[in-house]
Amino acid sequence: MPESGPSTPGHIPTERPKAAIPAPAAPADRPGPTAAAGVPATPPGTAAAPGTAPGAARRAGLLVTLVLGGLTALPPLSMDMYLPALPEVTQALHAPAATVQLTLTACLAGMALGQLVVGPMSDRWGRRRPLLAGMLVYIAATAVCALAPSPELLIAFRLLQGLAGAAGIVIARAVVRDLYDGVEMARFFSTLMLISGAAPIVAPLIGGQILRVTDWRGVFHALTVVGALLTLVVWKWLGETLPPARRHGGGVGEALRTMRGLLADRVFSGYMLAGGLAFAALFAYISASPFVVQEIYGASPQTFSLLFGLNSVGLVAVGQINGKLLVGRVSMDKVLGFGLATITLASAALLLMTSGALGEVGLVPVSAGLFVLMSAMGLALPNTNAQALMRTPHAAGSASALLGTSSFLVGAVASPLVGIAGEATAVPMAVVQLVCALGAVACFLGLCRPWRQQRQDPRPRRE
Calculate ∠ Cα 450-456-461, nearest 5°.
Answer: 90
d(CA 93, CA 151): 6
- CA 374/CA 308 separation, integer angstroms: 10
- Calculate the alpha carbon distances from 31 to 146, 181, 234 in Å: 45, 11, 26
DSSP characters for 177-236? HHH--HHHHHHHHHHHHHHHHHHHHHHHHHHHHHHHHS-THHHHHHHHHHHHHHHHHHHH
pLDDT of residue 412: 72
**93-138 residue pLDDT tens:** 988 877 887 887 788 888 888 888 888 888 888 999 999 999 999 9
* pLDDT reported for residue 176: 87
Phi, psi of 330 (to 5 degrees): -125, 145
The 10 Å CB-count burial string (b at 16+, else e) for 401-436 is bbbbbbbbbbbbebbebbeeeeeeebbbbbbbbbbb
**CA pair distance 273, 268, nearest whole angstrom:** 9
Residue 374 CB partners (closer than 8 Å, separation 6+): 282, 285, 311, 312, 314, 315
Q: What pLDDT, in 10s, does the model give residues 284-331?
A: 887 777 778 877 888 887 787 788 778 888 988 898 898 888 888 899
Condensed to tens digits (0 to 9), the pLDDT of residues 106-115 reads 888 888 888 8
Reported as type and span, the H/E element at residue 22 is none
Q: What pLDDT, on the 0 to 100 scale, is given for residue 52?
A: 34
Q: What is the pTM of this model?
A: 0.69
Beta partners for 330? 327
pLDDT of residue 138: 96
Which segments of the chain have a pLDDT < 50? Answer: 1-60, 457-463
Residue 310 forms beta bridges with which residues? none
Return the pLDDT at 396.
79
